[in-house]
A and B are shown apart, each in its own frame.
Chain A
Amino acid sequence: MKFKTDRDAKLGYWLILPTVVAISTLIFYPVFYNLWLSMQEVNMNPIQPNTFVGLAHFIDILTDLDFWISFRTSLIFTITTVIGTTVLGLAVALLLNRDFPGRSVIRGVILLPYVTPVISAVFGWKYLFNPVFGQANYFLVDILHLFPQHINWIESPAFAIYAVIIFNIWRNFPFAFLMILAELQSISASLYEAAEVDGASAWQKFKHITLPELKFVLGALVILRTIWNFYKFSEVYLLSASVNVLPVYIYEKAFASYDFGQAAAISAILFIFVLGFIMFYVKKVLEW
């Protein structure tokens, strides 16, 4: 490749300069700073210098059992919530894609979980699942007698992961719903009419018309939600400190153990992992 130097090209360089500067300062600088940090023993006192430790942090992390436990928790959380939000969003979108009185009101109401500030939603759920006063325990234990005694759904490490998954699906399915509904409305009715003439069942229409038409929006939803949820911190940590997904693990390394270098190394590992996943997914699943 050769750089053009004529007048038009020079003007062109000037025009793209702001973008280049913005991307370099906002994206490249933090990424490289993070990589640099991951090879340092960071000193908390800004006056004292850091020490270079090479790949020591990476070796420490990859041989640390806690990291792999967190990694597993993150995978479970991401896979279940991605499937959950997409399937629930799809189901609700299909249900609400037909005409009935009050449809627009219902569609608006469905969006509420997504637009409620996360902290207010979290406090609502905390009371819902409170071990003593909560309605969940009242219903499941006192009325249905499904469990022998009240359970601390939110704080007990054994149950908290379920609470966090359910909360995340509840909160994020409206996004999938919105995207899928928009796509559904653009599918031409004539396709379904033609299928009906051929005697296709409801399932066949769904499988051969709706799903193929939705392929790209579903594919985009899955990859976006995977990226978002793999790095999800707020919704997990605010609801329960007992679910140690990777972002929480990084947070505790950086801010409770004061180990910025290790925390940076973990984010570098995650970055490589997620990048690999995206490249595989885009190529093989989306076939772009």
Chain B
Amino acid sequence: MRKKLFLFILVSFLLVGLSTSILAKTTVEYWTTQTEEDRVEVINNLIDRFEAENPNYEINLVTVQENDIPTKLVAGMAAGRLPEIVEMGAEVILKMGAEGMISKADVNTVIDKIGSNDFFKGSLKMLASPDSGYYGVPFHGWVQGIWYREDLFKEKGLKPPTNWNNIIKAAETFNNPAEQKYGIVIGTNKDAYTRQTFTQYALANNARIFSEDGKIIFNSPAMIETLDFYNRLAQFTPPGPNGWRDARDLYLAGRVPMMMYSTYIMDDIGLEATAYQGEKGSIVANLVDKTAFANKMTQKSDSVFGQIMGLTFIKGNKDDQMEGARLFAEFLLSGDNYIDFLHMAPGGMNPVRSSIAENSHYLDNNVLEVWGEKAGEIAGGLDSIGKFGYVAGKVFPEIGNITSQFIVGQTIMKMTENGWTAEKAAEWGQKEMEEAIE
């Protein structure tokens, strides 16, 4: 009797082992910077849909905060455990590409399969590898600029904040710290947001981090001039270092009439005008109608700043996992899947495929309707983005080392918090950047 029981258990164990090995799925790990709960839910729904269509694959979703990406990547590299597919900003992708971590063949296969003509040219440029081909598949993008209260500007007879003079004049006019009202919010902290807001001022003044031959020129007269202006403008910001959260909260609460932000704010501002029933907080009434967006800044030249998020594939994983990753990338970028993805932050995430941008199903969304024609104009900026890592058609992946240490933000804090002059701060930044790209 005992023997029989033992045999039975043994056989059933064997059977279970056998059946799981037949049913075993290929696991594909996917990293995304979309960490908000409702966005994760959208992605999980898309994953369910993908897994139903492709029963051989299982997608393992990992969310990573934007500012933590450098950390997580290094830890993953050191442990030899990197994901198959990641969704990240262009600079991080370039840096990984320069380190030889990206499987360019897989990237190019996906781009060809979707059709490189359907991608906006500006978005492909941001992910191009310095020699040929691409380090990442463009996925979606945002544009940054100054969001401002058109109604208050009219009341005071101020001109739209499209050049330095108009911006600082308006900031000075509205700044009233005694009542906790401030002129503007721009980045003044050691973070990515500060580099992003500062970049637009620098590019408008033709100030760059890299010269065409790849030398650091952060202490150029144009850059010092920009730093000095930025420091003067920072006098009219709320006390202490500011980040994106301050910009968003204070603008929605009516404490600042201007702030720099990406198109992701459209969702926050626009929700109030839709039938949205969730928690609203205390948002200024009818903020959509009162808000205008200056996405182009003009000083010595025009500058538009934004970010292209791309999908890319990491080398060193198994072939079947890479195939699953490619399939998943194509799945995310096609038809209704893509539209559902973009609608998780309507207006914030803009399509990089022209066929989707014009798709009526894409435009059929509450928030996008509330913004009306403004939405179209905003997305148009995506094609003319300028950034520090790109000079005269050349790509400098070394920018990734500078951004991961937040050197631009630290340079600005030296002025705003320690009272350094622009010259001294620029020299400090120059030295740090030279060390960073060694």
Determine which of B77, B80, B177, B417 lies in contact with A150 in the assembled complex, contact meaning CB atoms within 8 Å: B177
The answer for the CA separation of A242 and B100 in the assembled complex, in Å, is 33
Q: How many residues of B contact A (CB 8 A)?
A: 34
Knowing A132-B255, A150-B180, A158-B417, the reply to whether A256 touches B238 (Cβ < 8 A) is no
Residues 235-253 of B contacting A (Cβ, < 8 Å): 238-241, 246, 249-250
The answer for the CA separation of A150 and B255 in the assembled complex, in Å, is 14
Does A97 make an interface contact (CB < 8 A)? no
Knowing A132-B255, A257-B405, the reply to whether A155 touches B240 (Cβ < 8 A) is yes
**Cβ of A152 and Cβ of B413 under 8 Å apart?**
no
The answer for the CA separation of A241 and B413 in the assembled complex, in Å, is 12
**Cβ of A152 and Cβ of B239 under 8 Å apart?**
yes
Determine which of B77, B239, B246 lies in contact with A44 in the assembled complex, contact meaning CB atoms within 8 Å: B77
Task: List 21 A-B pairs, Cβ < 8 Å.
Answer: A44-B77, A45-B101, A46-B77, A132-B255, A149-B178, A152-B241, A153-B240, A155-B240, A156-B239, A156-B417, A157-B417, A241-B190, A242-B190, A242-B241, A255-B70, A256-B404, A256-B406, A257-B436, A258-B401, A258-B404, A260-B78
The answer for the CA separation of A156 and B178 in the assembled complex, in Å, is 19
Residues 399-438 of B contacting A (Cβ, < 8 Å): 401, 404-406, 413, 417-418, 436
**Cβ of A157 and Cβ of B418 under 8 Å apart?**
yes
CB-CB under 8 A from B99, the residues of chain A are 44-45
**Cβ of A46 and Cβ of B241 under 8 Å apart?**
no
Between A and B, how many residue pairs show CB distances below 8 Å?
75
Residues 59-83 of B contacting A (Cβ, < 8 Å): 70-71, 74-75, 77-78, 80
CB-CB under 8 A from A150, the residues of chain B are 177, 180, 238-239
**Chain B residue nearest to A258 in the complex (CB):** B74
Most chain B CB neighbours (cut-off 10 Å) among A47, A158, A258: A258
Does B303 make an interface contact (CB < 8 A)? no
CB-CB under 8 A from A209, the residues of chain B are none
**Cβ of B239 and Cβ of A256 under 8 Å apart?**
no
The answer for the CA separation of A159 and B191 in the assembled complex, in Å, is 19
CB-defined interface of B85-105 with A at 8 Å, one 1/0 digit per residue? Answer: 000000000000001110000
**Chain A residue nearest to B406 in the complex (CB):** A256
**Cβ of B240 and Cβ of A151 under 8 Å apart?**
yes
- Interface, chain A (partner B; CB < 8 A): 44-47, 131-133, 149-159, 241-242, 252, 254-258, 260
**Chain B residue nearest to A45 in the complex (CB):** B99
**Cβ of A255 and Cβ of B71 under 8 Å apart?**
yes
CB-CB under 8 A from A158, the residues of chain B are 417
CB-defined interface of B258-287 with A at 8 Å, one 1/0 digit per residue? Answer: 000000000000000000000000000000
Determine which of B70, B71, B240 lies in contact with A131 in the assembled complex, contact meaning CB atoms within 8 Å: B240
CB-CB under 8 A from B189, the residues of chain A are 155, 241
**Cβ of A131 and Cβ of B190 under 8 Å apart?**
no
Q: 3 nearest interchain CB pairs?
A: A152-B240, A255-B71, A156-B240
The answer for the CA separation of A159 and B436 in the assembled complex, in Å, is 29
The answer for the CA separation of A236 and B406 in the assembled complex, in Å, is 19
**Cβ of B78 and Cβ of A256 under 8 Å apart?**
no
**Chain B residue nearest to A48 in the complex (CB):** B100
**Cβ of B74 and Cβ of A255 under 8 Å apart?**
yes
CB-CB under 8 A from A241, the residues of chain B are 189-191
Determine which of A44, A45, A133, A155 lies in contact with B241 in the assembled complex, contact meaning CB atoms within 8 Å: A155
The answer for the CA separation of A241 and B241 in the assembled complex, in Å, is 11
**Cβ of A256 and Cβ of B80 under 8 Å apart?**
no
Q: Apart from A45-B77, A154-B240, A155-B189, list 19 A-B contacts with CB within 8 A.
A: A44-B78, A44-B99, A45-B100, A45-B101, A46-B77, A47-B316, A131-B238, A131-B246, A132-B180, A149-B178, A150-B238, A151-B239, A156-B240, A156-B241, A156-B417, A158-B417, A255-B71, A256-B406, A258-B401
**Cβ of A132 and Cβ of B238 under 8 Å apart?**
yes
Q: How far is the CB of B193 from chain A (nearest CB, A)?
A: 13
**Cβ of B101 and Cβ of A256 under 8 Å apart?**
no
Q: How far is the CB of A65 from chain B (nearest CB, A)?
A: 13
The answer for the CA separation of A258 and B101 in the assembled complex, in Å, is 15
Knowing A155-B240, A157-B413, A241-B190, the reply to whether A46 touches B71 (Cβ < 8 A) is no
The answer for the CA separation of A140 and B314 in the assembled complex, in Å, is 52
**Chain A residue nearest to B178 in the complex (CB):** A149
**Chain A residue nearest to B435 in the complex (CB):** A257
The answer for the CA separation of A252 and B406 in the assembled complex, in Å, is 11
The answer for the CA separation of A50 and B331 in the assembled complex, in Å, is 39
CB-CB under 8 A from B240, the residues of chain A are 131, 151-156, 159
The answer for the CA separation of A114 and B78 in the assembled complex, in Å, is 34
The answer for the CA separation of A177 and B71 in the assembled complex, in Å, is 37
Determine which of B101, B177, B190, B249 lies in contact with A149 in the assembled complex, contact meaning CB atoms within 8 Å: B177
CB-CB under 8 A from A154, the residues of chain B are 240
Determine which of A149, A156, A242, A256 lies in contact with B70 in the assembled complex, contact meaning CB atoms within 8 Å: A256
Q: How far is the CB of A225 from chain B (nearest CB, A)?
A: 28
Most chain A CB neighbours (cut-off 10 Å) among B77, B99, B239, B404: B239
The answer for the CA separation of A241 and B404 in the assembled complex, in Å, is 14
The answer for the CA separation of A251 and B417 in the assembled complex, in Å, is 23
Q: How far is the CB of A132 from chain B (nearest CB, A)?
A: 5
Q: How far is the CB of B256 from chain A (nearest CB, A)?
A: 9
Q: How far is the CB of A33 from chain B (nearest CB, A)?
A: 12
CB-CB under 8 A from A156, the residues of chain B are 239-241, 417
Q: How far is the CB of A250 from chain B (nearest CB, A)?
A: 13
The answer for the CA separation of A258 and B398 in the assembled complex, in Å, is 13
CB-CB under 8 A from B80, the residues of chain A are 46
Q: How far is the CB of A267 from chain B (nearest CB, A)?
A: 15
Q: How far is the CB of A154 from chain B (nearest CB, A)?
A: 8
The answer for the CA separation of A255 and B75 in the assembled complex, in Å, is 8
The answer for the CA separation of A286 and B74 in the assembled complex, in Å, is 42
**Chain B residue nearest to A254 in the complex (CB):** B74
The answer for the CA separation of A122 and B294 in the assembled complex, in Å, is 35
The answer for the CA separation of A177 and B320 in the assembled complex, in Å, is 58
The answer for the CA separation of A152 and B255 in the assembled complex, in Å, is 16
CB-CB under 8 A from B249, the residues of chain A are 133
CB-CB under 8 A from B246, the residues of chain A are 131-132
Determine which of B78, B401, B418 lies in contact with A46 in the assembled complex, contact meaning CB atoms within 8 Å: B78
CB-CB under 8 A from B178, the residues of chain A are 149
The answer for the CA separation of A47 and B100 in the assembled complex, in Å, is 10
Determine which of A132, A151, A256 lies in contact with B71 in the assembled complex, contact meaning CB atoms within 8 Å: A256
Q: How far is the CB of B176 from chain A (nearest CB, A)?
A: 11
